[in-house]
Structure 1
Amino acid sequence: MIRQILTFIGVGLTLASAQAQQSKAPSYPLITHDPYFSIWSNTDQLNQSATTHWTGAEQALSGLIQVDGKTYRFMGHTDKIYKSILAAADEKTYQFSFTETAPKEDWNTPDFDASAWKSGAAPFGDLWAQAGTEWKSKRLWAIRSFQLNDRIPEVMYLKINHDDQVEVYLNGLQILSKKGFTAGKYLYVPIKGAALKSLKKGKNVLAIHIENTGGGQWLDAGLVTDDPANNGKIAQAVQTNRMIKATQTDYSFKCGGVDLNLTFTSPLLMNDLELISRPVSYLSYRVRSNDKKKHQVKVFFSASSDLAVNTPNQEIEATSVKLPGLAVLKAGTTTQPVLQKTGDNVRIDWGYVYVAVPQSQKSSQFIAAASTSPALFQSGSKSVNADKAKAEKASGINKVKGTKYALNTVLDFGEVNQTTKQQFVMLAYEDLESVQYFGKNLKAWWTNDGKRTFGDLLQQAANEYPQIIAKCNAFDAQMYAAAVQSGGEKYAGLCVIAYRQAISAHKLVKSPKGELLFMSKENYSNGSIHTVDITYPSTPLFLAYNPELVKGLLNGIFEYSESGRWKKPYPAHDLGTYPVANGQTYGEDMPVEESGNMIIATAATVKAEGNAAYAKKHWSTLSTWAEYLSKEGFDPGNQLCTDDFAGHLNRNANLSVKAIVALGAYGWMAQELGETETAAKYTHMAKEMAKKWAELADDGDHYSLAFGQKGTWSQKYNLVWDKLLNLGLFTKTVYDKEVKYYLGKQNKYGLPLDSRKSYTKSDWVLWTSVLADNRSDFDAFIDPIYLYAIETPSRSPISDWHETKDAVRQNFTARSVVGGYFIKLLESQWNKHKEGNTKTKK
């Protein structure tokens, strides 16, 4: 049965691949489900680097293939493996003696008495980054005494992760003096000469002086030596193709006489809320002979236990699990601090990562130290784990505790000829509790009642594999074709890059009232949850494919105001810091920004659904916000807008546009609800404001950045909703004048946000492009952004904030706002619907 299913899928993939898709991106989505379960490859070759969480922290997925006994690496890095002599904090906790006051000159010698110094757990640094000991001062001196009882290695390296300037001494002899920092990674420095010879049996001393010159601060250090047993030569598979689709990323390799195809599928199909909430991805492997000969083939897949920790030094327990029809391994921290960490650069350290395969496939699984796993595969070892002393066996269940383990699966394809053979692996994450919402912990949508077990989910996901892959193939082709039709191939390529990133920056849950909550995380901008000005730019994607998800983006903010918890006459900025949504934590309100965002997003939902029921449900709250905008929105005071990185701005002309469009949208919704008097009042108000706006913002051949600031300009991207909602507030002259002016201001990698800086926001550029009334002008905006996407040197999930002169990301990454790229596709959908209605009426 499995063979028939996989053959069917292979045919489906061939058909789906017949249409070109996107082949280049700043980073490649592999596993994409929510802000915590999100793994990417940051190099064009899958075997060129370690896979990472979107934050950049290593979460290694590795892949080897054995063809007639020869091993090739097709996924993951080939960095040198070391054996620890003095473990750093990524392996286990240890103590430093330290002082933040300048010590005596002999502080770095072996006989120095540091008994009066403080003692603290490594690493030193910022607590938000999960340091063992907080370090805030400018300078730090640290000493680590250690015993060597075995034979002294002939080769030794200092393993260090530091931020910033550092000096390191071994037994009083300097082994490193380095400026700068290691960008969160470990540096391996050879120890030679007298310093190496100074090592002796018994007591030795590692002494470090570090200086913080600005930004973050960090210190962790240990000693390692070579590990020949686990550095066997592995050939590199030759990557022959790479393709990104909406829900899948596909790679092809030549491995000697065998071709390998590997597809990562995260089935984020928005018409199926249960499926979009299901944290299960598929890795589909297909092998065939490329030389007309027969070959013996095995494939090795390894998932690091680091997928289940925030920092690598956290202890995990890994175990095998018995489930009917499946072979399963899982791992999670021993402490399980559920929902205890909040913030931006944070990974999940509660719940469990799972690797599962159908028992009908010929496969085996084992748990081992990550460093030894490849060697065990090459040798054909069936060892459950390499450290026998830590292994437990009870009723056939294998357990191990420690750090840096790997969950390994070997797929045995047996004899392979020119007929394709296929198998799949499931990688999944059970988070137990997903978010906290006004004091109540909420589970993921798929198990919001808490009755379905994760084992049930894994079995269902395995059984539904062929149908899900077929649905993904169909959707990927359909979405790409629709994007090409609406905006061309480069535009479609941007949509493909954005699709999984936009969705997986959210968590889908059900509120205590039974409402859908689609909780965003403000990735790499401040870590807020349910941010309104992150919702606003992301809505086009969700409006195009499921307006229920837009309601899920808005419901929490409505609840915050309507419950009385938030008492101001405009919406909150956020509901907290992810994953805790107990109330706004951002330090400053954005009154006009968030009022406009909520009203416009509600109006867009009404349009997408074809009825005003959602607006009616929240009409009192919408009316309060509209009343606020009627008084404060037209000529905004000195406040922040969504582009808060640019700072405060008084009399912001684009923010005024947002208020005017929101008032017009409110008037339109009033008309839809039969509130004719209110509709007339606000529609007239908005139109009069639009006329006055054109006068106040006029700066000759364009409109200014702010009222009264001649010689300035900015993108008026908020105008797009006047066009999409057919409000008719601003004249065509406004659109045409701005578009013509923008086209003369472009740089190589896009149109700057405004006249203050040369950086831009790519989501806003795509909104601005929709203001153009012809394809040529539209393409002129899109082409530089596409060039940015394929040429940026910043290898991370695409940033919506980049420099237009050199394509370098400014900070943001992996944010949901790239859902805004779908605005042209949304416009096309709505125009087709309008044309269809017109034909029906005729």
Structure 2
Amino acid sequence: MIRVRNFGYTVFTVTCIFLMNTLSGVAQPATDRTRTPSTLAFNPPATPLITIDPYTSIWSFGSKLNADPTRHWTGRAHQLNGLIRVDGRVFRFMGKPTFPGDTLVHSALQHPYEARYTTKHPADNWASPDFDDSLWAAGAGTFGSRDTDRTHWTSSDIWVRRVVDLPSIPDGNLLVSAIYNDNYELFINGQRIAGIGGVSPNYEVTATQRRIRDVLRPGLNLIAFHSQNFSGPGFVDLGLLSERELNMDVAEQTSQQMTATQSTFTFAAGGVELTVRFTAPLLMDNLDVLSRPVQYITYTVRATDGKAHSVQLYSDASTDIAVDSPDQPVVWRRGRTAQNGPTLNWMRAGSAAQNVLGRKGDNVRIDWGHLYVAAEANGQTSNRIGSLAGALNQFEREGRVSDTPDEGRPTIALNNPTVLSLAFDLGTVTGKAEERHWLLAYDDLKSVEYFGQPLRAWWRRYSKDSDGPEAAIERALQAAETDYRQLRNQCDQFDTQLYADARQAGGRSYAQLCVLAYRQAIAAHKLVARADGTPLFFSKENFSNGSIGTVDVTYPSAPLFLLYNPTLLKGMMEPIFEYSESGRWTKPFAAHDVGTYPLANGQTYGEDMPVEECGNMLILTAALAAVDGNPNYARKHWQVLTTWVQYLKEHGFDPENQLCTDDFAGHLARNANLSVKAILGIASYGYLAGQLGELQAEKEYLTLARELARKWMVLADKGDHYALTFNPNGGNTWSQKYNLVWDKLLKLDRSGESIFPKEVAQREVSYYLLKQMPFGLPLDSRRTYTKSDWIIWTATLADRPTQFDALIEPVLRFANESPDRIPLSDWHETTDGRHVGFRARSVVGGYFIKMLEKKLK
């Protein structure tokens, strides 16, 4: 859902170029010659490393691969570590092996504490040490609405101030251990230290990237935090910890590069250059490869000082990747591929419990199936399963790793994580590059439960349980190894073409945003096979509420899939159609979702979005007909589409006070942008009727849509723009009318006449340019925050490249400069670039709408 909840690989040494200007063979597009070239660099807030699905999704937060542990998109450490040993000296190039240390400020889980709190919005300086909180109430942590919470809190917001006395301050980095629903913002002695969104019912330890001595001092310290609850039980509590880290040299990162399917980092260490490349072959013209849960990490090493060096490389993957929480026991084993094909040694780890499909929700990670690490079996590669500290110490001493005798024993790995580690002995390295690669995979066994039936991932659709536990994943690993060189070339070609196409469509800044969005949008889905062989493509609402198959997440993400493979969009829409057509959903409008990820057994969100979801489904069905060149998909679902358009005829033009995708600032009746969606939903039905030969219905619905559009212009008229609502007493309000973009793209009337006169969009765009903020165009006049996907749609309404650029540039600035270095958030503040909520969501697939416009032309 895209709003607040109802206050309820490729080895390619010269690819992955940030600025991409020097990319050989890509001509300067004619459209760019009329533009002022962007001066903004490309600095992703977080860089995708492994992007298989919503569960196996590992990122490097910030700009350096070795500045912080690698993390799941939720922020939980999912560690990938890398060392290079040059002439016996070890340098760390990936990850940052750390361990929670001493408690600095205890949470209520450890000891109850007293604090001051208020549920009424305080003065702006409320987090300052000298703020007078004597009139605030006194209470004990935890704060929340659950029976176990010590201080009752049921409102939308709470502000808490707590004074702690610390006799001394240790060195090291600061960690926060917190529970929260839905988020918290932490201040220490008046400094903003952290802002975390989502839900964590268990105490979650996160890094702050701050030194302890920079924020705490001996004596009295003020710990202040603000939390919000949008739906469900509210609760918040936190404590502070120190972070212990291993002492070792750090390789110097000399560059970071990113393309659509690859992330590349280059390091200098001991007279050699190391290039590290992560490749996710998410190529949408090959669903078997797209779905195969295997990705590549490639190392290229060469001497840069004219000397010969003895070089070894170390890599590991933590077993934390296979559990939701580090306190869950894990088991492990190893094997070697025995079938025809490349011979690989593999290691695997998974939870001891293996409760398949037993955990659902938002801020959760998978705890069934198995993590795999594999590499070619040869005498130069060694591997080990055991403690992180033991593996690191052995590699530092010997330049290799070897097994420990306790393999397979269940373990709880809190202070000394268990890792699957491997080492490559490159021997003597000179100026000629030496290359090695390894494979990381995750076999989830069963991926989604669909109306009571567990479904396999698409790549696993032909596997049988009787084949044995490793047969399917061994075949996948061997296929991935066999395809390695071919996929290198395909990813190179795709990345180059995507950037060139995006730049031609919308300029350099726009192309950089598309590069940033590509992997994120795909990896927020899971491709599974229905029993009849139909592909279903389920989205997960990351840090939103964890819903699966949400229509108003499908809608903004659709342009990417319409552009590259409409079959995937059909796989997103099919569950909603089937939900209604099966009789399970009986309401005369489209459902909001089909459950909570990964259980797609029916809508679980507590409030319907009737106009929103009907409009979304009708418009996307028309878009599919336009891209496919035929209405066959609409014909398949014509009966339920007819039901939904009837709802829009009766209720869509002047919407009641109902939930919609823009209700971040609360519910809103008579929403003008929602009305635009309803009108274009009606027009989409008319367009589809004409494609199906139902000419009378075509005329009826297109005529109605045009009549409503002109009526809309009167009701929403504010002179130089159109209002937020049809409310004559609503003041000089405004909002982004991004839904108008489909009128421009689809040409719903075969006469070529648009549904809304072109002057509507032109007037709106001119007005929006007056409302720009440093980090983007606000969503509407109520608040200064925005949704970046909608900004790209709004910018696509512009007829002049200069207007488009003016709206796009601040969005790239947000990605580059936001103080929150996390996977891309689509909901952020336009004043200071801070993220408000959400991250790693699929809706950034909407960035590709400008490219879709070019395709449809």
Q: Same fold (TM over 0.5)?
A: yes
The SS at the match of 2:853 is helix
For 2:664 and 2:457, locate their aligned partners in 1 and report how far apart those are by CA, in whole Å.
32
For 2:852 and 2:70, locate their aligned partners in 1 and report how far apart those are by CA, in whole Å.
33
Residue 312 of structure 1 pairs with residue 326 of structure 2? yes
Residue 722 of structure 1 pairs with residue 748 of structure 2? no
Residue 323 of structure 1 pairs with residue 349 of structure 2? no
Residue 430 of structure 1 pairs with residue 443 of structure 2? yes
Aligned position for 2:432: 419
Aligned position for 2:29: none
For 1:656 and 1:731, locate their aligned partners in 2 and report how far apart those are by CA, in whole Å.
15
User: How far did 1:97 drift?
Assistant: 9.6
Aligned position for 1:374: 392
Query: What CA deviation, in whole Å up to 9, does each residue of 1:272-296 have, x standing for no partner?
Result: 1111111111001100110111111
Query: What CA deviation, in whole Å up to 9, does each residue of 1:74-130 have, x standing for no partner?
Result: 111264x57899xx99xxxxx99989999xxxxxxxxxxxxxxxxxxxxx98999xx
User: 2:835 aligned to 788, 809, 816, which one?
Assistant: 809
Aligned position for 1:739: 765
The SS at the match of 1:371 is helix
Is this contact kept in 2: 1:135–1:217, CA < 8 A?
no
- RMSD of the TM alignment (CA)? 3.4
For 1:811 and 1:66, locate their aligned partners in 2 and report how far apart those are by CA, in whole Å.
41
User: 2:850 aligned to 809, 821, 824, which one?
Assistant: 824
The SS at the match of 2:282 is coil
User: 2:290 aligned to 254, 276, 298, which one?
Assistant: 276
How does 1:125-274 map onto structure 2 within 5 Å? 135-138=148-151, 162-163=177-178, 184-185=204-205, 216-218=235-237, 231=246, 233-274=247-288
Is this contact kept in 2: 1:125–1:134, CA < 8 A?
no
Residue 569 of structure 1 pairs with residue 614 of structure 2? no
Query: What CA deviation, in whole Å up to 9, does each residue of 1:366-403 have, x standing for no partner?
Result: 112123322121011766456x5xx04xxxxx666342
Query: What CA deviation, in whole Å up to 9, does each residue of 1:341-373 have, x standing for no partner?
Result: 111100001111110001147211011212332
Aligned position for 2:459: 446
Give the residue type in structure 1 aligned to 2:205.
K
The number of equivalent residue pairs is: 736
How does 1:344-359 map onto structure 2 within 5 Å? 344-359=362-377
Residue 51 of structure 1 pairs with residue 70 of structure 2? yes
The SS at the match of 2:428 is strand
CA change 1:532–1:315 in 2 (3 A) is same
For 2:516 and 2:614, locate their aligned partners in 1 and report how far apart those are by CA, in whole Å.
30
For 2:10 and 2:555, locate their aligned partners in 1 and report how far apart those are by CA, in whole Å.
37
The SS at the match of 2:255 is strand
Is this contact kept in 2: 1:248–1:266, CA < 8 A?
yes
Is this contact kept in 1: 2:76–2:206, CA < 8 A?
no
Is this contact kept in 1: 2:81–2:97, CA < 8 A?
no
Give the residue type in structure 1 aligned to 2:57.
S
User: How far did 1:322 drift?
Assistant: 2.3
CA change 1:484–1:159 in 2 (3 A) is closer
For 1:289 and 1:97, locate their aligned partners in 2 and report how far apart those are by CA, in whole Å.
52
Residue 536 of structure 1 pairs with residue 536 of structure 2? no
Give the residue type in structure 1 aligned to 2:675.
S
For 2:502 and 2:241, locate their aligned partners in 1 and report how far apart those are by CA, in whole Å.
52
Is this contact kept in 1: 2:450–2:599, CA < 8 A?
yes
The SS at the match of 1:372 is helix
For 1:135 and 1:160, locate their aligned partners in 2 and report how far apart those are by CA, in whole Å.
25
User: How far did 1:726 drift?
Assistant: 1.1
For 2:15 and 2:542, locate their aligned partners in 1 and report how far apart those are by CA, in whole Å.
36
User: How far did 1:14 drift?
Assistant: 3.9
Is this contact kept in 2: 1:310–1:347, CA < 8 A?
yes
User: How far did 1:185 drift?
Assistant: 2.5
Give the residue type in structure 1 aligned to 2:732.
G
Residue 763 of structure 1 pairs with residue 770 of structure 2? no
How does 1:30-109 map onto structure 2 within 5 Å? 30-77=49-96, 79=98
Aligned position for 2:616: 597
Give the residue type in structure 1 aligned to 2:630.
N
Is this contact kept in 1: 2:383–2:403, CA < 8 A?
no
For 1:760 and 1:82, locate their aligned partners in 2 and report how far apart those are by CA, in whole Å.
36
> Could you tell me the percent identity over the aligned residues?
47
User: How far did 1:735 drift?
Assistant: 1.3
Is this contact kept in 1: 2:85–2:399, CA < 8 A?
no
The SS at the match of 2:265 is strand
User: How far did 1:180 drift?
Assistant: 11
The SS at the match of 1:429 is strand
Is this contact kept in 1: 2:369–2:443, CA < 8 A?
yes
Is this contact kept in 2: 1:48–1:78, CA < 8 A?
no
For 1:620 and 1:758, locate their aligned partners in 2 and report how far apart those are by CA, in whole Å.
42
Aligned position for 2:33: none
Is this contact kept in 1: 2:387–2:419, CA < 8 A?
yes
Q: Structure 1: where are the runs of 5+ without partners? A: 1-7, 90-94, 103-123, 140-154, 166-175, 191-209, 393-397, 832-842
Query: What CA deviation, in whole Å up to 9, does each residue of 1:566-589 have, x standing for no partner?
Result: 001110000010000100011100
Give the residue type in structure 2 aligned to 1:504.
A
For 1:446 and 1:312, locate their aligned partners in 2 and report how far apart those are by CA, in whole Å.
29
Aligned position for 1:502: 521
CA change 1:637–1:468 in 2 (3 A) is same
User: How far did 1:222 drift?
Assistant: 10
Aligned position for 2:127: none
Query: What CA deviation, in whole Å up to 9, does each residue of 1:726-770 have, x standing for no partner?
Result: 131011111111111111110111111100001110000000011
For 2:522 and 2:256, locate their aligned partners in 1 and report how far apart those are by CA, in whole Å.
22
Give the residue type in structure 2 aligned to 1:508.
L
Between stretches 353-362 and 732-741, larger displacement belongs to 353-362
For 1:804 and 1:554, locate their aligned partners in 2 and report how far apart those are by CA, in whole Å.
32
Is this contact kept in 2: 1:164–1:213, CA < 8 A?
no
Is this contact kept in 2: 1:138–1:211, CA < 8 A?
no
CA change 1:751–1:101 in 2 (3 A) is closer
The SS at the match of 2:332 is strand
User: How far did 1:156 drift?
Assistant: 13
Residue 285 of structure 1 pairs with residue 299 of structure 2? yes
Q: Which has the larger radius of gyration?
A: 1
